[in-house]
């Protein structure tokens, strides 16, 4: 199969359709409409085999994760996803692989109401680059730069499960079967918190998704906002799989430093805490308050009870 055969067979004919797409796959550019009163948010992420996912990862999981990490970025801005473009590098044409991959892409598109509007296909090492675009009402985008000392620090879901799964896949951990299945699902097919992101508009003072580790990503908020933060370790949300598999200290390290959780880390002022509870209840989402911001610019203080805690990790670094 040649490039345009691949596009026609596995992507154009299966694409979820939106009314705001005037020209989709098959032309030099896609043509789309941005609704009045909305701002356009755009993000791009690349997943490379052997770097971002192991070589034996199920094909559909690769597709779902490639979509999820981009939709998670939109969620962190409070944006509603609309369109995605796909650049796919393949070492060879494997029709079974392409069928499973395109099924994964289209299932995510259907679920989140997103249309695949274009991209590129080339020969090379296996890598997937997705550009995702979405809408947020004018002047309501969540950013990293409006947190203030005194704001409360929250995170959705549970932390560290993806890091625990990766250590299992790399032979560094043995896990009970139930725990294994739970954390592998969290690692291979993370859930982008799109509904939570839209619920946080006008409530959160800052927001980021946890992709490189809680502390590492928190530093981005602190530097952008000129704040510091204090985290209480006993408040970190840990899954039952995590608690059943490792010591408390190791669980803290996974929660603080391992990447690929794709939960939302956000700050809320004291005045907005009541509105937050109402918004989370309406969205049927849980979030945990894990600490508070202070005026110690760029510094993260970790405490276990009344005692200071020193972490041995540093988060994921792309070029370490």
- The binding site for substrate consists of 52, 260, 316
Annotated binding site for Mg(2+): 28, 43-45, 73, 120, 209, 212
First CA to last CA distance, the chain: 38
Nearest residue to 317 via CA among 206, 190, 211, 169? 211
Strand order in the sheet with 80-90: 38-48, 127-137, 80-90, 115-123
Residues 200-236: b if buried by 16+ CB within 10 A, e if exposed: bbebbbbbbbbbbbbbbbbbebbeebebbbbbbbeeb
Contact 50, 244 (CB under 8 A): no
Q: What Cα–Cα distance (Å) separates residue 312 from each residue in 82, 165, 192, 219, 256? A: 40, 19, 28, 16, 10
Tokens of 132: 């995702």
Annotated binding site: 28, 43-45, 52, 73, 119-120, 144, 209, 211-212, 260, 316
Tokens of 258: 């391992």
Annotated binding site for ATP: 119-120, 144, 211
Pairing of strands 31-32, 152-156: unpaired
Nearest residue to 45 via CA among 215, 250, 165, 190? 190
CA–CA distance, 63 with 128 (Å, rounded to integer): 8
Nearest residue to 120 via CA among 55, 30, 14? 30
CA–CA distance, 77 with 55 (Å, rounded to integer): 31
List alpha helices for 136-295, DSSP H.
Answer: 161-169, 177-188, 194-199, 214-225, 240-245, 248-257, 273-283
């Amino acid at each position: 199969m040649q490039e345009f055969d691949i596009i026609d067979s596995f992507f154009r004919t299966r694409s979820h359709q939106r009314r705001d797409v005037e020209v989709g796959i098959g032309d030099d550019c896609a043509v789309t409409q941005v609704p009045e009163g909305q701002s356009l948010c755009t993000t791009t992420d690349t997943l490379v085999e052997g770097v971002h996912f192991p070589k034996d990862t199920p094909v559909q999981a690769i597709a779902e994760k490639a979509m999820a990490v981009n939709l998670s970025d939109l969620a962190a801005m409070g944006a509603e996803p609309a369109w995605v473009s796909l650049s796919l590098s393949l070492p060879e044409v494997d029709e079974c692989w392409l069928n499973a991959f395109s099924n994964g892409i289209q299932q995510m598109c259907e679920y989140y109401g997103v249309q695949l509007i274009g991209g590129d296909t080339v020969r090379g090492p296996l890598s997937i680059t997705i550009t995702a675009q979405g809408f947020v009402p004018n002047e309501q985008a969540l950013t990293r730069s409006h947190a203030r000392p005194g704001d409360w620090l929250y995170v959705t879901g549970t932390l560290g499960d993806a890091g625990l799964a990766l250590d299992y896949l790399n032979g560094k951990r043995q896990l009970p079967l139930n725990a294994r299945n739970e954390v592998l699902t969290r690692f291979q097919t993370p859930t982008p918190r799109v509904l939570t992101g839209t619920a946080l508009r006008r409530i959160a003072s800052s927001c980021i998704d946890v992709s490189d580790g809680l502390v590492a990503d928190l530093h981005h908020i602190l530097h952008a906002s000129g704040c510091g933060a204090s985290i209480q370790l006993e408040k970190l949300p840990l899954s039952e799989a995590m608690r059943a598999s490792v010591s408390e200290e190791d669980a803290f390290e996974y929660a603080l430093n391992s990447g690929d959780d794709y939960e939302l880390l956000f700050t809320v002022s004291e005045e907005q805490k009541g509105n937050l509870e109402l918004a989370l209840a309406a969205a049927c989402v849980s979030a945990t308050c894990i600490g508070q911001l202070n005026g110690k610019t760029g510094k993260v203080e970790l405490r276990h009870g009344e005692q200071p805690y020193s972490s041995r990790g540093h988060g994921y670094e792309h070029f370490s």
